[in-house]
Structure 1
Amino acid sequence: MFVDLPLPQLREYRPERAEPADFDGFWRRTLAEARAHDLAPEFTPFPTGLTVAEVFDVTFAGFGGHPIKGWLLLPRHATAPVPCVVEYQGYGGGRGLPVDWLLWPSFGYAVLAMDSRGQGAGGWRRGDTADPYPGTGPQTPGVMTSGIHDPAAYYYRRLYTDAVRAVEAARAHPGIGPVAVGGASQGGAIALAVSALVPDLACALLDVPFMCHIRHATQITPEYPYAELAAYCRAFKDQVERVFETLAYFDGVNFAARARTPALFSVGLQDGVTPPSTVFAAYNHYAGEKDIRVYPYNGHEGGESAHVMERVARAKKALG
């Protein structure tokens, strides 16, 4: 079933943003703290037998200098620096295995697939990066409420910072040229944040992005992961406003208003996980060049293989 506003209303849906006064300062300080640690990127050759790509096991310093894992796949036999897409993971997933990332090398591009700290045990793609940050307090199962009592302690501060550092790690490799970012769901949310925090990206591929218009999302969908926030607010009734004050620092609509990276969004009109109005809220606030693909009879899976080809076409336009 269609789960939200009619499409003509969605295309005009541009809600007011709840933005902290020190949003920009918060993120400047956060990234400066991270950059005080040596990025120290390591690219260790990883034997796979693949004929299309050369694979490297990647480690770099993310938030707090913590070691973050990833895979870098370079098209085999490339003789000059090649464009790279940095890909971020959906909720609960990790970097998986190199064979999960053959799409971009098949088209002649590199890909750096960043692991998500503390995730990757959700049963669909394994992760290899711990989250050593201490003192996050009580939380609902999952990561949505980890450290939510304080923006400085909140999980997504660490994850978004890791994502910026992943772009820096990709650029540190001599075989990499221009860089784009992409992801779906949580990965789309991360790529949206990075599109605002890193000013000189080639493009952003933002599919059914999560973490947008967050308070509204908790009011119109019972689906997870937003349901984790509702469960936390049921348990801590006196902290509801504090919860959403924290989340305002991580809401995709606030990043969208600052983004100048050319972007391709996608949305499914039957998506109960990231409801269409939350996606359009970010899209309609997005300050850069933008386009969106709408899939009326799809849910959170978005446009599936048909949209994969849309992503490739958009990357080719931006990356050459």
Structure 2
Amino acid sequence: MKIYYKEVDNSMMRHIEEKLKHLEAYIPELTKQEDHDIFWKRTMEEAKGKALNASLHELDYPIKQVRAFDLTYHGFDETPIQAYYIVSKQHQEKLPCLIFFHGYAGHKNSVSHYMKWLIQGYAVIAVDCRGQGRTGDYSKYSSDEMGTWVTKGILDKDEYYYRKVYVDGVRAIDFACSRPEIDPKRIAIMGASMGGGITLAVAALDDRPKLAVADVPNMCDIGLAMKQKFDGSLTIVEKFLHRHPEAIEQVYSTLTYFDNLNLCGNITCKTRISVGLLDLICPPMPTYGVYNRILAPKSMEVYPFSGHDMGIIEHIDKTIQYVNEHL
């Protein structure tokens, strides 16, 4: 674990250290349903049986040192998942590959956003999650009244939005492994917030990534997160339950299947997570609950005076160093 802070007085340091001891000791009980593992085994078998149908369309991008493509592939269903596939024009064979997932209500950003990786020789896949960015969603949801993704299909685990998003992420690995220029043993998955939650889930569902980097991840220890958060997508779940108090038990049951608390024990790759101790969207204790249950090699980056934002210059530089050292 690494902690980043400016010089502070001794009393503040003691407060931080006491808080970290409390977080590091937190080992929550799992909330897995009896059929949790069967559900995910069935889900992944269904996904493996479907054609990827990947296609690439090269872009006329103004940075001439890279080749940038619009990538489309079929995710969980026949929804065309939109992404970028980007490589340096000077690349050699068997490139390491970074797969990026964005935050809630975000998008894959611009090609130029990934230059710090491309100039080092990494291939990049940047995904627009279904229903967000340029990706649509062909799925039908019997519960879809709140107008946002976190409650789509929330009354049925087979319908639920996050089931499809997690599988869409695994399918991005399928595409990476299909490319002759990619080294399938050097794939990293990365993201922040919702993208961090997807990163942890994909690492749990697929053992091909060598590295997982999850900043301020969501979908962690969801029951506790709903008690502690003050903002973010889980507040929409509360609004849904305000309308439908009869559905409380069913909603909590559905969420257990997609809670990284119940998935993280299957992570096998080296994993790094970051937290801001002032985060009101993805609070630190639920994140630590998941981190403390990961059995794979792991590390935690702690920022005592940061909230839900890992766009700190020092953190970006540390991430570059970390990926370079371990991938």
Structure-2-length-normalised TM-score: 0.91
- Asked if the contact 1:295–1:303 (Cα under 8 Å) also holds between the matched residues in 2, the reply is no
Partner of 2:232: 224
- Asked if the contact 1:41–1:172 (Cα under 8 Å) also holds between the matched residues in 2, the reply is no
Partner of 2:315: 307
Identity, % of aligned positions: 33
Give the distance between the partners of 1:270 and 1:279, measured in 2 at CA.
Answer: 13
Unaligned 5+ segments in structure 1 are: 120-126
Kindly indicate whether residue 87 of structure 2 is the aligned counterpart of residue 74 of structure 1.
yes
Q: Map residues 34-113 of structure 1 onto 2, 5 A cutoff.
A: 34-113=47-126
Q: 1:82 to 1:90 in 2, by over 3 A?
A: same
Q: Secondary structure at the match of 1:94?
A: coil
Partner of 2:283: 275
Q: Map residues 142-291 of structure 1 onto 2, 5 A cutoff.
A: 142-177=148-183, 178-291=186-299
Give the distance between the partners of 2:212 and 2:65, measured in 1 at CA.
Answer: 24
CA apart distance, 1:47 = 1.3
- Asked if the contact 2:144–2:152 (Cα under 8 Å) also holds between the matched residues in 1, the reply is yes
Give the distance between the partners of 2:267 and 2:34, measured in 1 at CA.
Answer: 18
Partner of 1:130: 136
Give the distance between the partners of 1:218 and 1:261, measured in 2 at CA.
Answer: 28
Structure-1-length-normalised TM-score: 0.93
- Asked if the contact 1:85–1:179 (Cα under 8 Å) also holds between the matched residues in 2, the reply is yes
Give the distance between the partners of 1:7 and 1:142, measured in 2 at CA.
Answer: 34
Partner of 1:123: none
CA apart distance, 1:107 = 2.2
Match of 1:141 among 121, 125, 147: 147
Root-mean-square deviation over aligned CA pairs? 1.6
Q: 1:262 to 1:153 in 2, by over 3 A?
A: same
Give the distance between the partners of 2:165 and 2:264, measured in 1 at CA.
Answer: 18
- Asked if the contact 2:77–2:138 (Cα under 8 Å) also holds between the matched residues in 1, the reply is no
Match of 1:27 among 21, 34, 40: 40
CA apart distance, 1:273 = 0.5
CA apart distance, 1:169 = 0.7
Moved more, 81-90 or 221-230: 221-230
Deviation by residue 1:269-295 (Cα, 9 ceiling, x = unmatched):
010000000110110011210000100
CA apart distance, 1:161 = 0.6
Q: Moved runs in structure 1, 4+ residues, more than 4 A?
A: none
Count matched residues.
Answer: 310
Moved more, 208-217 or 99-108: 99-108
Kindly indicate whether residue 22 of structure 2 is the aligned counterpart of residue 9 of structure 1.
yes
Deviation by residue 1:155-201 (Cα, 9 ceiling, x = unmatched):
00110010000111111112211211010000000000011111121
Q: Which amino acid aligns with 1:141?
A: G
Give the distance between the partners of 1:83 and 1:157, measured in 2 at CA.
Answer: 27
Q: Which amino acid aligns with 1:271?
A: D
Give the distance between the partners of 2:51 and 2:105, measured in 1 at CA.
Answer: 28
Give the distance between the partners of 1:103 and 1:279, measured in 2 at CA.
Answer: 28
Give the distance between the partners of 2:159 and 2:288, measured in 1 at CA.
Answer: 29
Deviation by residue 1:93-138 (Cα, 9 ceiling, x = unmatched):
122332232231122211100111112xxxxxxx111011113324
- Asked if the contact 1:34–1:65 (Cα under 8 Å) also holds between the matched residues in 2, the reply is no
- Asked if the contact 2:141–2:152 (Cα under 8 Å) also holds between the matched residues in 1, the reply is no
Give the distance between the partners of 1:80 and 1:288, measured in 2 at CA.
Answer: 29
Match of 1:115 among 128, 135, 156: 128
CA apart distance, 1:303 = 5.8
CA apart distance, 1:297 = 0.6
